């Protein structure tokens, strides 16, 4: 079959789609980019917010007429939304052929074939601890310079607002040797930057007697790549050893994605985040002490049940004090099955959520503008990622601490992709530094 995969959500979902494509090609199918050309369409889905699920349902509804005209067209939903809704998806979209949960990806080709005999429901119905999903990955389809590697799956934290543990299961780490082997395979195919992924990446190794710091040291031994990153880190699992390891390994980027979610200890307790504001600040101090120049990216939820004005103001203050590299801000929406949905009242009016969302983003923009302005005149090292999507006359890349930089594309632009170069910063926007090539 000619198969199109539509991907929604996080970097882990993007990687899962790559791995599903690998399995389908190995089974003799072809991956295509044109929906009109495809005779099978799979949606790899996200359940973190209702909006993401509604987008998928809308796209599936638009295919109802085509499915009626082409009965052999295969339509499938896989991933988090499939795991959460399971059989209910067939009620919402009776023209679906396949619903494939997060722990059934390795069987995707077989399940798709089975769907010709009738709709197939394949979800893990127990505790999402079924083994076998973390075997070594082939990665024979990989191309480009930026590669993702899943080092673990699942989450054990059960934040009151979060659906992830229910759709991704408990934490399960891959063996170090498997990760290192996959890194070598990706580098042999041209990868220059490796990003290690996990729903709770800094909890890596707890179940196998290892740690993320140890894994970083082992992957760093692989030759011929330029940089390594890791996301997403839970604040309570950021250790001094990890920060010191980041500082000691030049190829590991000095950037931490460490979501705070709130600047208020009261709200952090209500969210079951497992740390106080003071403990979060202590993590920031550890990073500043051992990894000077490192920047931290954060996430925030506004309008969580019973969030008062003073709780919100503490989040504003945290953004200004921490000077985050960036902050992703989301309005709270209850996710079915979570503790917050069952036991807490979504009592913040929508206009209050919108206002608080705006205020946090404004505080972050103020931080970004001040930082960018302070870097005009400086020299920055970046890894060149390619031609800018917004301006084909410019190239783009990032500093180790995740600042985006652009510069005029030289005649030999393609020769710079994946290389470290030095820029003189001459101007800036809130999120972008604008420079000229100094050395390569």
Pull the structure tokens for residue 253: 């980027």
The answer to whether residue 168 scores a pLDDT higher than 80 is: yes
Give the pTM: 0.94
The answer to whether residue 63 scores a pLDDT higher than 80 is: yes
Strands 420-428 and 432-439: antiparallel
The answer to whether residue 40 scores a pLDDT higher than 90 is: yes
Percent of the chain scoring above 70 in pLDDT: 97
Instruction: List beta partners, residue 40.
Output: 3, 74
The Cα 80–Cα 8 span in angstroms is 10
The Cα 371–Cα 376 span in angstroms is 9
Read off the pLDDT band of 131 (50, 70, 90). Answer: very low
Q: 375-394 pLDDT, tens per residue?
A: 999 999 999 999 999 999 99
Pull the structure tokens for residue 107: 């069987």
The answer to whether residue 33 scores a pLDDT higher than 80 is: yes
For residue 187, count CB atoms less than 10 angstroms from its CB and return exposed for 0-12, middle for 13-18, buried for 19 or more. middle
The Cα 147–Cα 88 span in angstroms is 35
For residue 116, count CB atoms less than 10 angstroms from its CB and return exposed for 0-12, middle for 13-18, buried for 19 or more. exposed
Contacts of 428 (CB under 8 A, 6+ apart): 372, 373, 375, 376, 434
149 Cα distance to chain centroid:
11
Percent of the chain scoring above 90 in pLDDT: 92
Read off the pLDDT band of 124 (50, 70, 90). Answer: confident
- Mean pLDDT over residues 182-198, rounded? 96
DSSP 70: -
pLDDT at 126: 60
* Complete domains list, the chain, with CATH: 2-122 (3.40.50.12160), 136-253 (3.30.750.210), 256-373 (3.30.750.200), 376-439 (2.40.50.140)
The answer to whether residue 48 scores a pLDDT higher than 50 is: yes
Instruction: List beta partners, residue 149.
Output: 196
For residue 171, count CB atoms less than 10 angstroms from its CB and return exposed for 0-12, middle for 13-18, buried for 19 or more. buried
DSSP 278: H
CA triple 112-164-8, angle to 5 deg: 50
Q: Which of 197, 198, 287, 195 is nearest to 239 (CA)?
A: 287
Read off the pLDDT band of 224 (50, 70, 90). Answer: very high
Rg for the chain (alpha carbons), in Å? 22
Read off the pLDDT band of 103 (50, 70, 90). Answer: confident
- Mean pLDDT over residues 291-317, rounded? 98
Residue whose token pair is 């988090």: 80
């Amino acid at each position: 079959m000619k198969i199109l995969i539509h991907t929604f959500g996080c970097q882990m979902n993007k990687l899962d789609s790559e791995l599903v494509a690998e399995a389908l090609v190995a089974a003799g199918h072809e991956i295509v980019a044109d929906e009109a050309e495809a005779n099978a369409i799979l949606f790899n889905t996200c359940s973190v917010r209702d909006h993401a699920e509604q987008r998928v349902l809308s796209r599936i509804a638009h295919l109802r007429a085509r499915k009626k005209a082409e009965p052999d067209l295969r339509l499938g939903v896989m991933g988090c939304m499939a795991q959460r809704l399971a059989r209910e998806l067939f009620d919402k979209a009776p023209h679906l052929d396949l619903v494939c949960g997060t722990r059934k990806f390795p069987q995707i080709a077989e399940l798709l074939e089975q769907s010709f005999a009738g709709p197939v429901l394949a979800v893990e119905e127990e505790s999402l601890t079924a083994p076998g999903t973390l075997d070594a990955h082939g990665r024979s389809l990989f191309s480009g310079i930026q590669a993702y590697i899943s080092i673990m799956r699942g989450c054990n934290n059960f934040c009151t607002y979060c659906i992830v543990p229910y759709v991704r299961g408990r934490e399960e780490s891959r063996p170090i040797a498997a990760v290192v082997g996959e890194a070598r395979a990706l580098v042999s195919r041209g990868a220059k930057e490796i990003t290690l992924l996990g729903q709770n990446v800094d909890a890596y190794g707890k179940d196998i007697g290892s740690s993320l710091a140890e894994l970083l040291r082992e992957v760093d031994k692989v030759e011929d790549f330029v940089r390594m990153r890791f996301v997403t880190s839970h604040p309570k699992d950021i250790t001094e050893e990890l920060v010191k390891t980041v500082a000691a390994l030049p190829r590991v980027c000095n950037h931490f994605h460490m979501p705070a979610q709130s600047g208020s200890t009261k709200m952090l307790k209500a969210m079951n985040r497992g740390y106080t504001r003071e403990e979060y600040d202590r993590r920031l101090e550890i990073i500043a002490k051992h990894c000077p120049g490192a920047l931290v990216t954060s996430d925030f939820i506004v309008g969580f049940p019973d969030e008062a004005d003073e709780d919100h103001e503490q989040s504003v203050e945290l953004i200004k004090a921490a000077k985050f590299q960036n902050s992703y801000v989301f309005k709270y929406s209850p996710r079915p099955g979570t503790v917050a949905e069952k036991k807490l009242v979504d009592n913040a009016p929508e206009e209050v959520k919108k206002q608080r969302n705006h205020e946090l983003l404004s505080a972050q923009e103020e931080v970004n503008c001040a930082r960018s302005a302070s870097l005009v005149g400086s020299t920055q090292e970046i890894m060149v990622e390619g031609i800018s999507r917004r301006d084909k006359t410019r190239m783009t890349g990032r500093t180790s601490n995740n600042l985006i930089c652009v510069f005029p594309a030289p005649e030999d632009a393609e020769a710079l992709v994946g290389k470290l170069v030095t820029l003189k910063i001459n101007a800036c926007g809130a999120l972008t530094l604008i420079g000229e090539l100094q050395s390569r």
